[in-house]
């Protein structure tokens, strides 16, 4: 049975700079079923990051509709968007954006704490998530004491703290060596199962793109299904 957790219809997004109008998405359709992994490829500048930012409600769109886990983004008031960003979606970027003055456990726990979990609950969940990403014995390490791959795994744990329905990852292996990228790939592949989530993954690493149940190529404002 089809159960799309993400559904975009006739999604249109332009950027204007001076007199030039950039057409990023032109009435693009996209849908993804719950619990699946979708990978998105496309030339640099085709709009992959912009699309993820739209899904995460960090970026507005011109027209069309975006529904994620029952939330209709085009009509959601700013106050609900805040809740949406905090608890429905989780973000992982190419750069980890961990806070340098906090250890791994604190970095993971913080967004949970800020979303209203008790201190104990946030810490307990963070510990479980560090276990999940294989970093049980790195909880008290600071970002500067972790390898690039470990930092990205902390960033994944952090993205999961508020139990998001959807995880949005933008070139998460872009800064990693081959061995770390391989480890991260296997973690991302297991994510829907172990964290009960759906994953949208932008990458230009063909091996990482392979973990997708489906793959799309973003080109000329549209998604073309390539697998």
Ligand X SMILES: Nc1ncnc2c1ncn2[C@@H]1O[C@H](COP(=O)(O)OP(=O)(O)O)[C@@H](O)[C@H]1O
Question: Nearer to ligand X by C-beta: 17 or 120?
Answer: 17
**Residue 199: beta bridge partners?**
37, 167
Residue 149 binding target from ligand X, Mg ion, none, CB below 5 to 8 Å by type: none
28 Cβ neighbours under 8 A, 6+ residues apart:
8, 10, 11, 12, 64, 221, 222, 223
Residues 4-43 touching ligand X, rule: CB under 6 A, are 15, 17, 22, 24, 42
CB of 170 vs Mg ion, minimal distance in Å: 6
Smallest gap from Cβ 217 to ligand X, in A, equals 11
The piece of 49-57, 70-78, 113-121, 207-215 that touches Mg ion (CB under 5 A) is: 49-57
Answer for which of 39, 49, 103, 173 binds ligand X (CB under 6 A) is 49
Does 49 contact Mg ion by CB under 5 A? yes
Residue whose CB is less far from Mg ion, 53 or 133: 53
Tell me the C-alpha distance between 128 and 152, whole Å.
Answer: 16
Place of tokens 């805040």: 82
**Residue 47 or 111 having the CB closest to ligand X:** 47
Give the shortest CB-218-to-ligand X separation in angstroms: 7
Instruction: CB nearer to ligand X: give 15 or 95.
Output: 15
24 binds, among ligand X, Mg ion, none (CB under 5 to 8 A by kind): ligand X
In whole angstroms, the minimum distance from the beta carbon of 13 to ligand X comes to 9
CB nearer Mg ion, residue 49 or residue 197:
49
Binding site for ligand X (CB under 6 A): 15, 17, 22, 24, 42, 44-50
């Amino acid at each position: 049975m089809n159960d799309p957790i993400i559904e975009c219809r006739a999604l249109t997004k332009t950027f204007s700079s001076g007199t030039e109008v950039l057409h990023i998405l032109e009435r693009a359709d996209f849908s993804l079923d719950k619990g699946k992994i979708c990978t998105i490829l496309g030339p640099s500048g085709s709009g992959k990051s912009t699309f993820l930012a739209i899904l995460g409600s960090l970026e507005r769109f011109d027209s069309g509709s975006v529904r994620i886990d029952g939330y209709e983004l085009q009509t959601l008031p700013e106050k609900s968007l805040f809740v949406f960003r905090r608890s429905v979606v989780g973000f992982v970027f190419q750069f980890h954006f961990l806070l340098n003055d906090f250890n791994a456990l604190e970095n993971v726990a913080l967004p949970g704490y800020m979303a209203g979990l008790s201190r104990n609950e946030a810490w307990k969940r963070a510990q479980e998530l560090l276990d999940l990403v294989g970093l049980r014995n790195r909880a008290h390490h600071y970002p500067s004491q972790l390898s690039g791959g470990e930092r990205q795994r902390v960033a994944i744990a952090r993205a999961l703290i508020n139990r998001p329905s959807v995880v949005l990852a933008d070139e998460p292996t872009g800064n990693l060596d081959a061995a770390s990228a391989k480890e991260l790939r296997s973690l991302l592949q297991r994510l829907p199962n172990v964290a009960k989530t759906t994953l949208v993954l932008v990458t230009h690493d063909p091996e990482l793109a392979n973990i997708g149940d489906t793959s799309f190529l973003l080109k000329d404002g549209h998604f073309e299904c390539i697998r």
